[in-house]
Amino acid sequence: MSRKEIEREFKRQLIARSARDLFLAKSYEEVTVQDIASAAEFGKGTIYQYFSSKEEILYYLIYQDMAESMENLRRDCSEPDACECLNIYISNQYDLYMRGNRLFLSFLRLMLEGNLKPEWINATGIIREQKLEFVAGIIARGQADGVFIEADSLQLARALKNVVRGFTMEQLELQKKATKNTNDIELIKAVIFAGIMRKNDSG
Residues forming contacts to DNA in the complex (CB under 7 A) are: 4, 11, 30-34, 37, 41-46, 48-50, 53-55
Q: Does 173 bind its own copies (CB under 8 A)?
A: yes
**CB distance 87 to 45 below 8 Å:** no
Query: Which of its own copies, DNA, none does residue 32 bind to, with CB < 5 to 8 Å depending on kind?
Result: DNA
Burial 139-154 (b: 16+ CB within 10 A, else e): bbbbbeeebbeeeebb
Candidates 6, 25, 108, 144: give the one binding its own copies (CB under 8 A). Answer: 108
Comparing CB distances to its own copies, the nearer of 9 and 170 is 170
Mask: binding to its own copies, 34-73, rule CB under 8 A, as x and -? ----------------------------------------
DSSP category for residue 80:
S
Q: Does 17 bind its own copies (CB under 8 A)?
A: no
Q: End-to-end CA distance of the chain, in Å?
A: 58
Question: 97 to each of 128, 179, 184, how far by Cα in Å?
Answer: 13, 11, 13
The answer to whether 180 touches 95, Cβ cutoff 8 Å, is: yes
Among the listed ranges 11-19, 47-55, 60-68, 150-158, the one in contact with its own copies (CB under 8 A) is: 150-158
